[in-house]
Structure 1
Amino acid sequence: MSQTPRAAGRAGPDGGPARGRHSAAPRQRRLWPLLLSLVLIAGAVAGGLALHQSSADGQANLATPNPSGSPEVDETARAAGVNKVLVRRAQAIRNNDEAEFLQDVDPADKLLVARQKLLFENLRQFGFASLSYEQLREQFDQRLVDKYGPSTYLVGVAMTYQIKGIDPQPVRTMLGYTFTQKRGGSWQLVSDSDMDHLLPRGSHQEAWDLGEVLVKRAPRVLIVVERNEAKLADNLAAKAVSAVQAVSKAWPGGWTGSGVVIALDDKIVRGADYTVPKNAEDALAMATWVYRTLPGETTELGERADSYVVINPRNRDKIDARTLAHEFTHVATAPYGAYAPRWLVEGAATYVEFLPMAGEENLALDKYRKEVQTKYLAKAKSLPTDNVFFKDSDSSYPMSWLAVDYLFQHFGAVEVGTLYQEMASLGSTQAERNRIMLEHLNLTEGRLFLQLKKEAGS
């Protein structure tokens, strides 16, 4: 017997499911497949310290250098000395050498040593195919000079890494380190958190930075949970493998990528923030950008390479394979760009989520299609627009699914896949979106909406 999807909305007297700004919320019974939304953090640098265009020497300009009047610094010698520390740390992770990793950490700061030891234990589980650290430009803070001494060097650091079998190319995240010079001229790490409040959201605070973790691998899947959650890791891995297979089969042209699922107790991981009331209550999972270049390095928003899924710790027991198939569709399409209209982004992910899937009961999509036409399309005046999509999410998701379902039925998977790629890459304005849609479908968004109306009437 097939299940009948039904449109999501705020929970009412009938105990129906609730829908939030970003993704599906818990529900009392399985009547509505989970509609998980894309949260690829477009405002990653908001409220944080953005990188600036790289300078002529190839180092990104993080902040204003030391003000005039500061002691003269041999910047070349300092950069070389700190670089030795960074190279040694990356090498220690590759060699699984904890002593080498801690060699340049201030031994007098026991808490820092403990944090760095835990960081090493976490990092070594991920299995990096490549890993390196690169100094960015100095961030001056007189308070830190007063605390650590005149040689204090607060610097942004780009960590470039590639997780074996997961990341299709090297990607970057950002951290901040404070160094001081020891007697004899070598440098030591005295803090790993002084710059945290300045770093861009969405390209900082990775899973390995957040307490004791356990990393579990399965075919094309990597799961990150708390150290004592082996059973949860096994459960999520099985669902993730099924979801990866489903997206690989369903997405036009096939998808050969991998899925990362992070399910930690922390409420802020990467670009996902489950302390925000709306997210905390309603969201199940979010797909968060992984960067090829950091925000501000070459473009304001950064160049996106991939996406990792972060699960809401409050709702992790509601995650199923369909949930992850939705999110992994966002992962599969993340490299295309950030400009596709929200109805296409969410409609495509929901379309894949609803398809027949191994181990999951089939959905009564014919019945659901009629329900969406009657309940939502009949009252709508257009496709959901980007600026109100999440505000009206209880109607936006089913309407978006209906539109993408129509495109697959009438134009085929190849055309839809090509359309998505061009819209995501080039559709930064409505004029561009119209041009691309006319080229591929001989339809604008407005005319597509009228076609949905026409088909419903027939």
Structure 2
Amino acid sequence: MPTDADRAGARHARARHSSAKRERRVWPLLLSLALVAAAVGGGLALHRSTSGDLDASTAAADEAAGVRARDQAARAAGVDQVLARRAQAVRANKVDQFLADVDAGNQKLVDRQRTLFANLRQFGFASLRYERLQEQYDQALTDKYGPSTYVVAVAMTYQIRGIDRVPARTMLGYTFTQRDNGRWMLVADTDLDRRLPRGSHQEPWDVGQVLVKRAPRVLVVVEKSQGKLATSLVAKASRAVRAVSGSWPGGWTGSGVVIALDDKVVRGADYTLPKNAEDALAMATWVYRTLPGEVNGVGERTDSYVVVNPRNRAKVDSRILAHEFTHVATAAYGAYAPRWLVEGAATYVEYLPMAGASDLALDTYREKVRTSYLAKAKALPSDATFFQNSDRSYPLSWLAVDYLFQRFGGTEVGTLYRELAALGTSQAARDRIMLEHVGITEAGLFRALQAAAAT
């Protein structure tokens, strides 16, 4: 019969495996955001469109330019009216108004937009508006839809009631044409999809009929027919939210969003990639206050939503969601914390005692990490190789954060995390921040772990 230590060891083996696979999920997200600058530089203009793009003196001197400027202003004004009506229709629950500006001759588009409306209504937006960004010229689309074709990137600014602390922004692309009566109509809603930045597009309301279920500080999105799964995930997410709130230094007052759809590409998660598809469980994907390309290349983060791998959603439990919600709790701090701290902190919270979950034999696990991983290591896991060696990176990262909590306390660890995430842009900056808060550098922390293991 297995002993408690045996069961604890098995539990830790599974936890390390799932954590490691989870972070193999995050790597494509980081890659996609690193490529955002290339997407923006490739011709997708994200800055706001204005009617004053042409120099006034040139417009006065060049009659043709003046005509183009007036035409652009008229087109922009017409599309702005359409976008305003659509947002108002969602807020007021008026589906006919939402569909009134959709090309009635394209039944697939009408059906897709009707589904979109039904989905949007379920999320319970405290605020919602659409903002026209820069026109995206495409001769092929002009040839397809006619000379009045107006292809435009659109920012959707929203705030889900009881979930989002501040308004968030996401992107979509619309194609409009002007009818003989002068009215602008939506004729396509996917023409720009391939050019939009990954991670700030393809929201859960965009990918088919969904079911949204809520609890305090929890929102779960599943396929329309998956009510039983939604109920299960709401219970698990609620326990995980309470666990992170009670464990993270200073508390966490945010919310947990769990997206568990059949679609393999949602937000920044891509489960079509081989490294993600088989064993990945869930991924915390960034939510933006400003879009990639608006203020900087990668955008400004405000929060994070968790996207579950459709292949493995039955394996998701409260501890796994606590790991991901720790990423959610720290998402707004910044992007520069060392990977060992990011993943070590999430794993630390995941392994703590949690209501509804069996306690883990952490003393046994700590000793195992020291003998099996620390003894063979030469330094803390580096950002560059973390995921290449994830089987040992996660245990060592957990050990480092466990040491910091025991030696310096949660308040200091929380402050250290915030400063490293916001300002740790180089090794010199990281060392300076570490010395200021805990009196040791990353190299010094590794030596401290070795010394503790030797006692």
Q: 1:46 aligns with which of 14, 35, 59?
A: 35
Residue 371 (structure 1) aligned with residue 360 (structure 2): no
Q: Distance in 2 between matches of 1:42 and 1:271?
A: 10
* Deviation of 1:154 (Å): 0.3
Specify the code of the residue in structure 2 equivalent to 1:333: T
Specify the code of the residue in structure 1 equivalent to 2:360: L
Q: 1:213 aligns with which of 189, 210, 214?
A: 210
* Deviation of 1:74 (Å): 1.1
TM-score (norm 2): 0.91
Q: Distance in 2 between matches of 1:20 and 1:401?
A: 11
Q: 1:10-25, aligned counterparts within 5 Å? A: 18=17, 22-23=21-22
Q: 2:8 aligns with which of 4, 8, 14?
A: 4
Residue 324 (structure 1) aligned with residue 321 (structure 2): yes
In structure 2, the partner of 1:113 is 110
8 Å CA contact 2:23–2:387 kept in 1: the answer is: no
Percent identical residues: 63
In structure 2, the partner of 1:271 is 268
Q: 1:289-328, aligned counterparts within 5 Å? A: 289-328=286-325
Specify the code of the residue in structure 2 equivalent to 1:44: L
Specify the code of the residue in structure 2 equivalent to 1:206: E
* Deviation of 1:54 (Å): 3.6
Q: 1:247-262, aligned counterparts within 5 Å? A: 247-262=244-259
Q: Helix, strand or coil: the match of 2:254?
A: coil
8 Å CA contact 2:285–2:306 kept in 1: the answer is: yes
8 Å CA contact 2:333–2:418 kept in 1: the answer is: yes
Q: Helix, strand or coil: the match of 1:228?
A: coil
In structure 1, the partner of 2:338 is 341
8 Å CA contact 1:8–1:19 kept in 2: the answer is: no
Q: Distance in 1 between matches of 2:46 and 2:192?
A: 19
Q: 2:121 aligns with which of 121, 124, 139?
A: 124
Residues 53-82 of structure 1: CA distance to partner in whole angstroms, max 9, x if unpaired? 74694999xxxxxxx99x946111111110
8 Å CA contact 2:336–2:425 kept in 1: the answer is: yes
Q: 1:416-435, aligned counterparts within 5 Å? A: 416-435=413-432
Specify the code of the residue in structure 2 equivalent to 1:244: V
Kindly indicate whether structure 1 or structure 2 has the higher relative contact order, using CA contacts under 8 Å at least 6 residues apart.
Answer: 1
Structure 1: 5+ residue stretches without partners = 26-35, 61-67
Residues 180-221 of structure 1: CA distance to partner in whole angstroms, max 9, x if unpaired? 011232211000000001000000000001111000001100
Specify the code of the residue in structure 2 equivalent to 1:457: A
Which moves more between the two structures, 180-189 or 358-367?
180-189
Q: Distance in 2 between matches of 1:370 and 1:58?
A: 66
Q: 1:181 aligns with which of 172, 178, 181?
A: 178
Q: Helix, strand or coil: the match of 1:43?
A: helix
Q: Helix, strand or coil: the match of 2:22?
A: coil
* Deviation of 1:23 (Å): 1.4
User: Could you say which structure has the higher helix fraction?
Assistant: 2
Specify the code of the residue in structure 2 equivalent to 1:281: E
In structure 1, the partner of 2:359 is 362
In structure 2, the partner of 1:164 is 161
Structure 2: 5+ residue stretches without partners = 54-63
Structure 1's 101 and 59: CA in aligned 2 closer, same or farther, altered over 3 A?
A: farther
TM-score (norm 1): 0.90
* Deviation of 1:421 (Å): 0.3
8 Å CA contact 1:306–1:335 kept in 2: the answer is: yes
In structure 2, the partner of 1:93 is 90
Residues 214-268 of structure 1: CA distance to partner in whole angstroms, max 9, x if unpaired? 0000110000000000000000000000000000000000000000000000111
Q: 1:204 aligns with which of 201, 208, 219?
A: 201
Q: Helix, strand or coil: the match of 1:88?
A: helix
8 Å CA contact 2:153–2:173 kept in 1: the answer is: yes
Q: Distance in 2 between matches of 1:238 and 1:211?
A: 24
Q: CA RMSD in A?
A: 2.5
Specify the code of the residue in structure 1 equivalent to 2:22: S
Q: Distance in 1 between matches of 2:17 and 2:272?
A: 18
